[in-house]
Structure 1
Amino acid sequence: MGYPLEILVFGLLSTGPLWAGVQCDINLYKLYVQPATVQEGLCVFIPCNFTYDPNDASSTATLYGYWFKGGCFNSPPLVATNKPGETIAENAQNRFILSEEVEQGNCSLVINDVQNNDDGDYCFRMEKEPKAKWSFKEILKVTVKELEDPVIHFSRNLQANHHVNITCIVPRSCYLKPPRISCKTMAGNFTLRASEEQSSDSHVHSVFDFTPSVADNKQNLTCAVTYGNTSIYKETTVLLNVKYPPQTPVISSELRRPNKTSDKPTSALFAVMGALSVIVVVILIIAVILIFKKYQRKSMIDMESHKTLQTPRSDSSPNDQISQQMVLCTSG
């Protein structure tokens, strides 16, 4: 009695794979995605496409896509889907965004505000009634790295009054957080203007025109980047080493107009020299006055001495002289 039942069960089991093979062509289920590397705090756009067997799906049915963290089995956390009502993992909400063109085989994924725990493997699954339900074996590998500082590159050694290109290289981010790169020097305290911008898969290169001067030597140059309207900010500062020919000091008596610009060291030198000249002139005038007064005093002393020598000396008083004259008159 049980023998026909065993034969029936065996027959169903043996024809199951054949039935599945006829109804489901696994070779048509393919996922095309590349590993992605993104830096913490930024966002990344990961291109992805897939195919399936249209014979397994109704043309009127809606195609749903799912991205899972870790794998597609054993109830992994769901990070992105286009199916309403599904529960998204808390740390992935509003950060993982699935393409709106899933129906056209687009499974591209955007990850915003990338966190360290986003690092790992991801699995994609598609479902379309009645039988097109497939978890793809191809895995998306996401690697999260620490955000890099900008890199500064000079096209040549710096020479005064010679043009040079400065390239600031920063990590690339997706359209949600485009990098905004600036470059400025401390000497002039002005921001350079970018003349060119290039992009690679992982970085953005912004080229700035710069003509250094002697004043830029030993000054700082800073390349900085911000991403979108966020507070994410990174900068790199280098000390400029500008080569220039030896400077020969020139002393000139030219009068400087108040509105004529000059270097601060030269102005200071002329100021010191002017002050010294005034001091020397004052000292000379004082010395001449002192010498003149000394000579005048000596002349007066010599004149007094000369008068004293010419005056006859008399030891008798005027009365004695009168008496002597009277005696002489009497004797006569």
Structure 2
Amino acid sequence: MDTERKMLIFTLLLTAVCSPVFSGEWKATVVKDLDALVTSCVVVPCSFTHGGGLLPNSRLRGLWHRQDKFDQFIYHEDQTRVLDNFKERTQLLGRLGENNCTLEITDMKDHDNGPFCFRVEVVRKETNEPTKDKFSFVEDCVQFKMLHDAPKPVLTPPKTAIEGKPYTIICSVTHTCPSHLPKLTWNRGTEEDITEIHKQHHGGNWEATSTLTFVAEAKDDYTELTCTAEFYGGRKESSTTVTLYVKRSENYNHIIIPAAVGIGTAVIFGLLCVFMVKKYKKRIAELQSQVRAGPDSEDEKRRNRFL
């Protein structure tokens, strides 16, 4: 009987201690692989559920650590516990009370490849000390592929511009730091000619897009259009250039003008011919009239002049 009583008490104590830990599901959703541009920044999307139920932000503590070293923190609210290499370079962008554990790392180093894991702790309100309700998501960690060269922008223009008509060209570049967007610039155009869009793709990847619109002119033919992407940190940039070809607008001046000149010349020449023909016909008529009158008539006319 004593043995049964001891077993019952032990079971009750074990339940009382462990129930906070196993009272709910511990689960994290973390992007496992991300590209990270050296000297720039990266944002790791992260969300989680914990066994403590709905708790305010002040009752939760989020930590990020090396996968194989639980005491080597790359993020901790107490900066003195953060590894020297990561001090002042990491912060949580999400609110833990909303189950958002998104992490930002700036000034990425070549050796910041990870893997890094998220840990959540429920703390006591009075002492801010962690309870037994905590969990490290070592199966859901992020690892980085370090990029030393900035991704090149992609230009998607129509094949040919048409003189006098609007021409649109799009520049886009992928990145993994939506908290500090890359800056896209053109070698021509004004702010009124440019529009920008930022959208999220799957797996923590984002795309920045800049659209340039202008009216193509004949002088733009065979000129170059360049889009440059400058990434956060100011030490990495890349650019892409295309040659613009302009198709002249359809007109018939090269036909109409010569035709008009030819027709005008023909009309003038025709009028001159008519005038000359009439003049010569009149002269011929006068000569014929004189011939019909004969010499006597001519002598009579001369005599009449002197009378």
**TM-score (norm: length of structure 2):** 0.62
**In the alignment, is residue 24 of structure 1 matched against residue 25 of structure 2?**
no
Q: From the superposition, tell whether residues 100 and 160 of structure 1 become closer, same or farther in structure 2 (CA, over 3 Å).
A: closer
Distance 2:167 2:55 in 1: 63
Question: 8 Å contact 1:36–1:46 — kept in the other structure?
Answer: no
1:149 corresponds in structure 2 to 152
Q: CA deviation at 1:121?
A: 1.9
More strand by share: 2
**In the alignment, is residue 87 of structure 1 matched against residue 81 of structure 2?**
yes
Question: 8 Å contact 1:63–1:126 — kept in the other structure?
Answer: yes
**In the alignment, is residue 241 of structure 1 matched against residue 245 of structure 2?**
yes
Q: Deviations over 1:116-156 (max 9, x none)?
A: 32223221122233311221244232333532011111144
Name the SS of the counterpart of 1:110 in structure 2.
strand
Q: From the superposition, tell whether residues 36 and 111 of structure 1 become closer, same or farther in structure 2 (CA, over 3 Å).
A: farther
Question: 8 Å contact 2:166–2:213 — kept in the other structure?
Answer: yes
Residue 243 of structure 1 aligns to which amino acid in structure 2? K
| Bigger mean CA offset, 148-157 vs 99-108 | 99-108
Q: CA deviation at 1:103?
A: 4.6
Question: 8 Å contact 2:34–2:176 — kept in the other structure?
Answer: no
Q: From the superposition, tell whether residues 54 and 228 of structure 1 become closer, same or farther in structure 2 (CA, over 3 Å).
A: closer
**In the alignment, is residue 212 of structure 1 matched against residue 216 of structure 2?**
yes
**In the alignment, is residue 122 of structure 1 matched against residue 122 of structure 2?**
no
2:32 corresponds in structure 1 to 35
Question: 8 Å contact 2:57–2:96 — kept in the other structure?
Answer: no
**In the alignment, is residue 177 of structure 1 matched against residue 180 of structure 2?**
yes
Gap regions ≥5 residues in structure 2: 124-129, 258-307
Q: From the superposition, tell whether residues 58 and 144 of structure 1 become closer, same or farther in structure 2 (CA, over 3 Å).
A: closer
Question: 8 Å contact 1:58–1:130 — kept in the other structure?
Answer: no
Question: 8 Å contact 2:64–2:76 — kept in the other structure?
Answer: yes
Question: 8 Å contact 2:156–2:171 — kept in the other structure?
Answer: yes
Question: 8 Å contact 2:24–2:52 — kept in the other structure?
Answer: no
Match of 2:50 among 49, 52, 69: 52
Q: Deviations over 1:264-302 (max 9, x none)?
A: xxxxxxxxxxxxxxxxxxxxxxxxxxxxxxxxxxxxxxx
1:265 corresponds in structure 2 to none
Q: CA deviation at 1:110?
A: 0.8
2:136 corresponds in structure 1 to 135
Mapping of residues 96-107 of structure 1, within 5 Å: 96-99=90-93, 101-107=95-101
Q: From the superposition, tell whether residues 21 and 198 of structure 1 become closer, same or farther in structure 2 (CA, over 3 Å).
A: closer
Name the SS of the counterpart of 1:225 in structure 2.
strand
Mapping of residues 70-81 of structure 1, within 5 Å: 71=67, 73-75=68-70, 77-81=72-76
Question: 8 Å contact 2:171–2:227 — kept in the other structure?
Answer: yes
Q: From the superposition, tell whether residues 168 and 89 of structure 1 become closer, same or farther in structure 2 (CA, over 3 Å).
A: same
Mapping of residues 202-281 of structure 1, within 5 Å: 202-227=206-231, 230-244=234-248
Distance 2:210 2:182 in 1: 10
**In the alignment, is residue 162 of structure 1 matched against residue 165 of structure 2?**
yes
**In the alignment, is residue 194 of structure 1 matched against residue 188 of structure 2?**
no
What RMSD in Å do the two structures reach over aligned CA positions?
A: 4.0
Name the SS of the counterpart of 2:219 in structure 1.
helix
Structure number with higher relative contact order (C-alpha < 8 Å, ≥ 6 residues apart): 2
- Runs of 4+ in structure 1 off by over 4 angstroms are 14-18, 20-23, 57-62, 73-76, 245-250
Question: 8 Å contact 1:121–1:139 — kept in the other structure?
Answer: no
Q: CA deviation at 1:198?
A: 4.2
Name the SS of the counterpart of 2:177 in structure 1.
coil
Residues paired across the two proteins, number: 236
Q: From the superposition, tell whether residues 60 and 206 of structure 1 become closer, same or farther in structure 2 (CA, over 3 Å).
A: closer
Q: CA deviation at 1:18?
A: 6.3
Q: Deviations over 1:3-55 (max 9, x none)?
A: x9xx99x979x969964664531652121223352441332332322222228
Distance 2:44 2:52 in 1: 25
Q: CA deviation at 1:173?
A: 5.3
Residue 139 of structure 1 aligns to which amino acid in structure 2? D
Name the SS of the counterpart of 1:24 in structure 2.
helix
Q: CA deviation at 1:209?
A: 0.3
